[in-house]
């Protein structure tokens, strides 16, 4: 399926919208004021609603969906601030580019929402919009804003240019496990739930317990003994021993977390969903490297993506230096 050039590297979180200053009195308050323009807390919720609609179509697992929404919620306000800075830069060109922006927004909605997410069923798409409490007019304005952001980004972020062999080698050295099939780790875990059945426990006291256990591990106490004593998960009876596992044995988020841990080192206390975790990766079995043609193509794409991201962040930093940003008290 063909995707418009402006959207190839677009973050879905940039699908944002406008709310007028006059609406402020009807909302739940101002989150931040950027160059004199208030960004309302209700706007943050609108961002999240739009993205939830898309994520529901692509993620079937509820726990995974909840985690993705949690990450989006953390980033939503920063994304709105970045957008407002970029829209300010676009103001001198707005009149000349109105028709082009409108056309790209319509095409983006048709290609990436109606056709891709809803398999060409426009009625279902509109129904889902309605159930999310968003009118088509407001949704269109959000996509229109995304077009503007991408147009300005393409004009102001320097082209990264040629990707060198040294850059690819450095990326491969740092992310080698992502280019192999069948990687395994020998994993141990201790799970401390945030909410315990024991009287008087709180998330704060459970975190303190997890930290105390970690201190004992660092002093040399045996992992299996502590896991049998304190851990509350299906592996506690085995002393926290998972044996050798591969990424497919875990959820995506859990795999990203534990496969990124160093070998033979007790992890920090990790807060994940409803529990605190301690992990220990005893050993690794590297998988087979993927075909070289795939590896080289993927390296080129990923290094290019990182350089573009760095260029974008530098541009946003420049815009922030000349902007006035005032956060409202929580």
At 42, is the pLDDT very low, low, confident or very high (cuts 50, 70, 90)?
confident
pLDDT band at 11 (very low <50, low <70, confident <90, very high): very low
CATH code, 5-156: 1.10.4030
Rounded average pLDDT over 138-146: 90
Beta strands 270-272 and 30-34, pairing class: unpaired
Cα–Cα separations (whole angstroms), residue 79 to 15, 53, 84, 185, 220: 9, 18, 9, 36, 45
Question: Residue length, the chain?
Answer: 330
pLDDT per position as a tens digit, 272-286: 888 999 999 999 998
| % of residues, the chain, pLDDT over 70 | 90
Whether 35 contacts 323, CB under 8 Å: yes
State how far the alpha carbon of 251 is from the alpha carbons of 62, 192, 194, 281, 323, in Å: 12, 19, 20, 17, 41
Which of these, 111, 145, 113, 144, lies nearest to 129 by C-alpha position? 113
For residue 317, the model assigns a pLDDT of 95
Task: Enumerate the domain spans of the chain.
Answer: 5-156, 181-286
Residue 222 backbone zone (phi > 0: left; psi -120 to 50: alpha; other: beta): beta
What mean pLDDT do residues 28-39 have? Answer: 87
Q: DSSP readout, 65-94?
A: HHHHHHHHHHHHHHHHHHHHHHHHHHGGGH
Residue-averaged pLDDT of the chain: 86
Show the beta-strand stretches assigned E in the chain: 30-34, 37-40, 180-181, 184-193, 241-246, 270-272, 275-285, 288-289, 325-327
- Torsion of the alpha carbons at 236, 239, 245 and 249, rounded to the nearest 10: 0
pTM for the model: 0.65
pLDDT of 206? 93
Is-contact 163 298, C-beta < 8 A? no
Q: Which of 35-39, 63-67, 249-253, 325-329 has the highest mean pLDDT?
A: 35-39
* Bridging pattern class, strands 37-40 and 275-285: unpaired
**Topology of the domain covering 181-286:** Chitinase A; domain 3 (3.10.50)
- Range with lowest mean pLDDT among 109-118, 193-202, 296-305: 193-202
- On whether the CB atoms of residues 294 and 135 are closer than 8 A, the answer is no
30: which strand partners?
Answer: 40
Mean pLDDT confidence for 132-142: 87
The conformation of residue 210, written as its DSSP 8-state character, comes to H
**Of 128 and 281, the one with more pLDDT:** 281
More confident residue, 284 or 51: 284
- For residues 42 and 315, the model is more confident at 315
């Amino acid at each position: 399926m063909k995707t418009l050039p402006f959207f190839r590297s677009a973050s879905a979180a940039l699908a944002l919208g406008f709310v007028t200053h006059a609406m402020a009195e009807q909302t739940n308050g101002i989150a931040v004021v950027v160059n004199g323009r208030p960004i309302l807390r209700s706007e943050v919720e609108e961002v999240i609603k739009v993205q939830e609609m898309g994520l529901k179509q692509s993620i079937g697992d509820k726990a995974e969906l909840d985690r993705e929404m949690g990450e989006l919620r953390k980033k939503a306000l920063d994304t709105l601030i970045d957008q407002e800075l970029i829209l300010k830069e676009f103001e001198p060109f707005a009149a000349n580019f109105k028709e082009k922006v409108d056309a790209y927004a319509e095409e983006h909605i048709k290609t990436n929402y109606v056709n891709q997410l809803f398999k060409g069923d426009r009625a279902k798409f509109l129904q889902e919009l309605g159930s999310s409490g968003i009118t088509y007019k407001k949704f269109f304005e959000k996509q229109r804003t995304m077009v503007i952001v991408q147009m300005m980004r393409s004009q102001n972020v320097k082209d990264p240019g040629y990707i060198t062999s040294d850059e690819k080698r450095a990326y491969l050295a740092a992310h080698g496990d992502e280019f192999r099939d069948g990687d395994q780790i020998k994993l141990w875990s201790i799970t401390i739930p945030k909410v315990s059945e024991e009287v008087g426990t709180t998330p704060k006291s459970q975190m303190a317990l997890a930290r105390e256990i970690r201190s004992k591990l660092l002093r040399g106490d045996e992992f299996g003994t502590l896991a049998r004593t304190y851990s509350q998960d299906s592996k506690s009876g085995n002393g926290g021993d998972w044996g050798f596992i591969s990424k497919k044995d875990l959820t995506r988020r859990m795999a990203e977390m534990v496969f990124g841990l160093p070998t033979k080192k007790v992890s920090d206390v990790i807060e994940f969903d409803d529990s605190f975790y301690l992990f220990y990766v005893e050993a690794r079995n590297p998988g087979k490297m993927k075909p070289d043609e795939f590896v080289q193509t993927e390296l080129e794409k990923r290094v290019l993506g990182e350089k573009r991201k760095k260029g974008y962040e530098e541009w946003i930093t420049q815009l922030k230096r000349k902007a006035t940003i005032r956060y409202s008290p929580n």
